Amino acid sequence: MNRPRLSFWQIWNMSFGFFGIQFGWGLQMANMSAIYQYLGADAEHLPYLWLAAPLTGLIVQPLVGYFSDRTWTGLGRRRPFFLVGAICASLALIAMPNSSTLWMAAGLLWILDASVNVSMEPFRAFVGDMLPSEQRKQGFAMQSLLIGGGAVLSSALPWILVNVFNVTEPEGSGNAIPITVHIAFYAGAAVFFLAVLYTILTTKEYPPEDMEAFKKMKEETKGWTNVFKEIYHGIRSMPKTMRQLAVVQFFTWFAMFCVWIYFVPAISTEIFGGVPGDDAYQKGVEWGGLCFSVYNGVAFLFAFVLLALVKFFSEKQIHVVCLSIGGLSLISTTFVTDPGMLMVVMVGLGIAWASILSMPYAMLSNAIPGSKMGFYMGVFNFFIVIPQIIASVGLGSIVQFFFDGRAMPVILCGGISLLIAVLATFRVKPADYTQVTD
């Protein structure tokens, strides 16, 4: 089915929910390692505690993609999943800073990640559903823009509360987790839900072109046996472009997971000279959140640049340059001694992050059939979460036995991994729009 071209504001409305989703993700990425350490976790145990994120993505996203392809209700195809995920994620965000034990926080992270995945995965397929193939680059770039905006505010929020609004810990509060983190997570719950609700209310989905054929297909493929059979078949019959992009995604997301787990502990201990629980460490955590805000802010601004660049350069060319900048920036972190210089590093990482969130999906969306857009976007997530699982299982031992408990060398590994992703990107042969049929 040929889709009509949408205006800038129509693309904005259909993508705005990602602002809220990334607000929740940004709080998690900037604060979860610190929350775990406030509750007594050692640095070498952090990767295991982060396993929730990749494992829930591995399980939830293909299933959500499969079922959303086969859903049609009064609310549409993808929007019911947006709503359910937003409600559950908002409740988990409210509960997270009230964790009293390490394993309570870890359990809530499983719930939060599963809920975020229920909302997030259909948003990727939404672009393929709603936009003609020639506008999909703009659609994913818009998602990148809103992701950057949400992450900027969420990552910096604890720092802003302390340094702009002078929020201080109440005398004798006895909180293991600072009051600024409580306030930030409560705000995140509201923003997550309201942003997703905005997209639900402002964007109407297209129904299946042939409703009778859709119902027949749904009836013929019902049952869990068919679910797993189709997932298995879909993985085996992945388009060539998707297989090539899988390698790029593997090394890209391994690098980003290194940053999310270890960047804040690395600068808090090695640049600020703190240990968990003291003032120097807390300053490092707040500065680390500000750094995350900067790289997401750069991604937000650079998304405007991407909207212009996609008119003149291919997704592949853009991705090679952006990943190269990000990899070299991460490698340079190991030579930084002044906290202010970390902001320069974050500019390079932000440029890479804007491309990571958009260009691979633009290349993929034109290489897969529209009738299975949700399913293949979910399967594509395998190549995001598998490297994160490997990192979660392996990085703790590497830090303990090879890096003597230091977090900074992990950031160097992340930079090298991004440069390997650059080499893999050269091998990708994007499909032409005309090659893809339903």
Q: Using one digit for the tens of pLDDT, what is the confidence trace for 57-85? A: 788 877 888 888 888 888 888 899 999 99
Give the pLDDT confidence score for residue 1 in this predicted structure: 56
pLDDT more than 70, % of the chain = 95
DSSP per-residue codes, 24-76: HHHHHHHHHHHHHHHTT--GGGHHHHTTHHHHHHHHHHHHHHHHHHT--BTTB
381, 247, 372: which is closest to 319 by C-alpha? 247
Task: Tell me how far apart the alpha carbons of residues 404 and 296 are, in angstroms, rounded to a whole number.
Answer: 31
Give the pLDDT confidence score for residue 91 in this predicted structure: 96
Residue 219 lies in a domain: no
Residue 213 lies in a domain: no
Decide: residue 377, CB within 10 A, 0-12 exposed, 13-18 middle, 19+ buried: buried
Residue 261 lies in a domain: yes
Give the pLDDT confidence score for residue 393 in this predicted structure: 80
- Residue 253 structural domain: 8-204+231-435
Cβ distance 248 to 364 under 8 Å? no
Alpha-carbon torsion (297, 303, 306, 307), positive or negative: negative
Query: What are the helix (H) ranges across 171-270?
Result: 179-202, 211-220, 224-236, 240-270
Q: In the predicted model, what is the mean pLDDT of the chain?
A: 84
pTM of the entire structure?
A: 0.73
Q: Using one digit for the tens of pLDDT, what is the confidence trace for 183-242? A: 999 999 999 999 999 999 999 888 877 787 777 777 767 767 777 777 777 777 788 888
Task: Tell me how far apart the alpha carbons of residues 39 and 277 are, in angstroms, rounded to a whole number.
Answer: 10
Give the pLDDT confidence score for residue 292 in this predicted structure: 84
Provide the domain count of the chain.
Answer: 1
Bigger pLDDT: 427 or 398? 427
Give the pLDDT confidence score for residue 433 in this predicted structure: 38
* Confidence check: pLDDT of 434 > 50: no
Residue 89 lies in a domain: yes
Task: Tell me how far apart the alpha carbons of residues 250 and 255 are, in angstroms, rounded to a whole number.
Answer: 9
Q: How confident is the model at residue 42 (pLDDT cuts 50, 70, 90)?
A: confident
Please report, for the domain that includes residue 287, its CATH number. Answer: 1.20.1250.20
Residue 160 lies in a domain: yes
Residue 252 lies in a domain: yes
Give the pLDDT confidence score for residue 404 in this predicted structure: 75
- Most confidently modeled of 13-17, 41-45, 62-66, 418-422? 418-422
Residue 3 lies in a domain: no
Q: Using one digit for the tens of pLDDT, what is the confidence trace for 256-266? A: 988 888 888 88
Residue 81 lies in a domain: yes
Task: Tell me how far apart the alpha carbons of residues 163 and 167 are, in angstroms, rounded to a whole number.
Answer: 8
